[in-house]
Structure 1
Amino acid sequence: MFCEMEPPARESVKRMNPSLWTLGTTVICVKISTGDAQPLNSLASWVDGDSTFHLQPRDETYLTNSTEGDAAIDRLQECGTGGSVWKLGSEAICKVKSWYEGRQLEATTIDFVRKTCPEVPMAEVIYSWIDRPINRTFLIMKRVQARTLNTAWPHLSAAQHMNIAKEVAHHCSSLARITSSRYESISGCGVYEYWLMGKLPASNPSWFYMTVGPFSSIDMKTYMTKISCEILPERPISRVSGLPPNPR
């Protein structure tokens, strides 16, 4: 069921003026000159040129005489009804996602991968929190100054394509060595896996992502046997155009 969050996810971050942003209901981001006195209640900070950005607990005195703010000016991406991404200056981004009790936190997953597979490059997390009154998480990360692979790919040579493919395969192999006897996230939560969820109820809000599990190996096997009532095809269908079906 198509359903917006309240307030909509795309309104989660607003620029109030050139040096002030509201991040949900509990945090503000303040930009000050690096040489100025640093706030004592700073939750996290990062340097951006001659300025320093500070995350602070929301203080309404900062918002006195402010406008309603602009949520679109710094928005980089709108991800349906369940989240959006904003830039905070040129050195950080803010990623907002819908949240509910029992959903895995992305910052925790990033930290786990960094500690378990240090050879796999991961984004640097500056700060993360849950804004429970509005059911969403906020993740502040260092911004990578580069082109996206989608943009760069057409301009790369065949050798560069192959090197990238090999590097990605190597990282996938490293991650595949992390195993568990249970089907669950690293924090024991259910796993968001669209292809294993079966048919979602029509009443499910579009921002409320369903998860599978957590399951023991036995429960997972039982679940997989009941995930679909469709009749199995008689013969496998080839996914490569022009090739006959695989033999029995």
Structure 2
Amino acid sequence: MECHRVTTPDKSYPTTWKDGDLWYCIGPKTGESTLARAEANDFPLIHKTGNQSAVWAIGNNAICKVHPWIPNMTQESEIIQFVREHVPDIPIPEVIHSWVDGDRSFLVLRRVEGTTLRDAWETMTINQQKSMVDEVAGYCDIMASLQSERIENVTGGAVRESYLAEHPCDLLGPLSVSESKKYFFRDDFEQNPKIGNSFHFYHSDLGPGNIMVHNNRVSAIIDWESAGFYPHFWISTKPSVSPGFDFDPPTPGVENFEWRRLLRTKLQELGYPRYADWYMKWRGIET
């Protein structure tokens, strides 16, 4: 697939959208790779991780995310569609088009109004910050009402959660309740986390860079790659143990871990137990 900028919409392309006085069209590629085509058209690079993951701007109204892909991996667009259908109260970005080309997945999203919580946090009053914590924790609570009998993603496959997988690059699951207890429990531990009869839908990566804010409200939650059904204990434990919930880069005058401390505290108040000490011991991390 490749993207073209045109003055009038071309009906021969399966996907088109308007951007100011111009139109963008996505359709089958004619020779060059999609990645090379984007660079040739000078679409600005927004973010890059290593040699395979990147985000480009497409005009003023869209972005294109590129990630590594392996067969049977659930695409982020499928997860976003699941959220739209099952928990429509959660603000999410609009998918324009998605596809897989070789060993990479491509996702074109409409830009979300606002800035990241990371950039907005220091401009907010204490009461506005508290309201933001309450709002995000409330969305977690809404998502957690969706349950499954296994640890799995929305299409029944493995979840992408490096903090729980055996090795950071591995996927986790699917795991039944009995398989999960065998995986997480240690006979020599004084305490293991409680695992009930079902698992709960969770974004699992709600750092301040993945929450878009407009007028001091959440305008969208982005980056759904890790979302899936997880143990109840993971909902408040993840922000306790993941530096991905920190302000990065650091915000002057703000503790790096302030967001994750406030979020996990609110989640605990909502009834999601925190097992950070167990997790560190389970992972063999000295504290």
The TM-score with structure 1 as length reference comes to 0.69
Q: Which residue of 1 aligns with 2:12?
A: 41
Residue of 175, 183, 193 corresponding to 1:215: 175
Unaligned 5+ segments in structure 1 are 1-26, 201-208, 240-245
Uncovered stretches (5+) of structure 2, i.e. residues with no partner:
192-240, 242-276, 278-287
Question: Pairwise mapping of residues 33-112 of structure 1 onto structure 2 (< 5 A)?
Answer: 33=7, 36=8, 38-60=9-31, 69-70=39-40, 74-112=44-82
Alignment partner, residue 114 of structure 2: 146
Partner residue in 2 for 1:21: none
CA distance in 1, matches of 2:93, 2:128: 23
Please state whether the residue corresponding to 1:140 is helix, strand or coil: strand
Shift of 1:71: 8.6
Equivalent AA in structure 1 for residue 161 of structure 2: E
Number of the residue aligned with 1:124? 94
The aligned amino acid for 1:221 is K
More helix, by proportion: 2
User: Secondary structure of 2:171's partner?
Assistant: coil
Separation in 2 of the partners of 1:145 and 1:47?
A: 16
1:169-188 mapped onto 2 (5 Å cutoff): 169-188=137-156
Q: How many aligned positions are there?
A: 191
Establish whether residue 190 from structure 1 lines up as the match of residue 161 from structure 2: no
Change (3 A) 1:221 1:43: same
Structure of greater Rg:
1
Bigger relative contact order, structure 1 or 2 (CA pairs below 8 A, ≥6 apart): 1
> 2:161, 2:132 → 1: CA distance?
26
Q: TM-score, normalised by structure 2?
A: 0.60
Q: 2:2 aligns with which of 23, 28, 34?
A: 28
CA 1:141/1:69 → structure 2, altered by over 3 Å: closer, same or farther? closer
Deviations 1:132-177 (A, max 9, x none): 2xx0100000001322211111111111101111110110100011
Inter-CA distance 176–68: structure 2 relative to 1 (3 Å threshold)? closer
What is the one-letter code of the residue matched to 2:78? Answer: T
1:95 & 1:211 partners in 2: Cα distance? 20
Shift in CA distance, 51/73, structure 1 to aligned 2, threshold 3 Å: closer
Instruction: Say whether the 8 Å CA contact 2:15–2:25 is kept in structure 1.
Output: yes
Residues in 1 aligned to 2:105 and 2:31: alpha-carbon distance in whole angstroms: 21
What code does the residue aligned with 1:101 have?
A: P
Displacement of 1:180 in angstroms is: 0.5
* 1:217 to 1:104, Cα distance in 2 relative to 1, 3 A: same
C-alpha distance after superposition, 1:102-125 (max 9, x if no partner) = 222100000001111111001100
> How far is 1:225 from its partner?
3.6
Of 145, 148, 166, 2:134 maps to: 166
Deviations 1:18-73 (A, max 9, x none): xxxxxxxxx1111111xx3x323212111100001000111249x9xx99945986
Shift of 1:218: 1.6
- 4+ residue runs over 6 A deviation: none
* 8 A Cα contact 1:127 1:140, kept in partner: yes
| Aligned 8 A contact 2:160 2:172 in 1 | yes
Partner in structure 2 of residue 6 of structure 1: none
